[in-house]
């Protein structure tokens, strides 16, 4: 089992920034992919960004150039730096961890972009 705990969500004005954090614990393998998904009202959950153990990143087209995903030195943490936020970024953001042992999700953290 892997436990994921997200933090850093909140209310921010358009054009502002937030930094989300996710800490993983439990049965962690060195080879894994961690990332962020989001789900807005009336929409399906979608990939925002992810990062492999080796540092390869992948971003949704809608966030390229604005968001940055990174790992901590311990490799069991992942961050999402969100800049130039837009109202359409409003969603619940979920941390995700995938390895040969399984696919795990955090509870989610609310991000609201509004003036």
Give the number of other CB atoms < 10 A from CB of residue 20: 22
For residues 29-63, one letter each, b for 16 or more C-beta atoms within 10 angstroms of the residue's C-beta and e for the rest, the string is eeebbbbbbbeeeeeeeeebbbbeeeeeeebeeeb
Work out the angle at residue 110's Cα, subtended by the Cα atoms of residues 55 and 82, and round it to the nearest 5 degrees.
40
pLDDT mean across residues, the chain: 95
Decide if 113 contacts 87 (C-beta within 8 A).
yes
Taking only the tens place, the pLDDT of each residue in 72-114 is 987 789 999 999 999 999 999 999 999 999 999 999 999 999 9
Residue among 49, 33, 53 at smallest CA distance from 104: 33
How do residues 44-66 score in pLDDT, each as one tens digit? 999 999 999 999 999 999 999 99
């Amino acid at each position: 089992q892997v436990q994921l705990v997200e933090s850093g969500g909140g209310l921010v004005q358009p054009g502002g920034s937030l930094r989300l954090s996710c800490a993983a614990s439990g049965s962690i393998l060195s080879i894994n992919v961690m990332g962020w998904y989001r789900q807005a009202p009336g929409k399906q959950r979608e990939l925002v960004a992810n990062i492999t153990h080796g540092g390869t990143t992948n971003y949704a087209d809608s966030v390229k150039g604005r968001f940055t995903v990174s790992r901590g030195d311990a490799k069991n943490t992942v961050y999402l730096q969100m800049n130039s936020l837009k109202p359409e970024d409003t969603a619940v953001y979920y941390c995700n961890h995938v390895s040969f042992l399984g696919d795990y999700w955090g509870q989610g953290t609310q991000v609201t972009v509004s003036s």
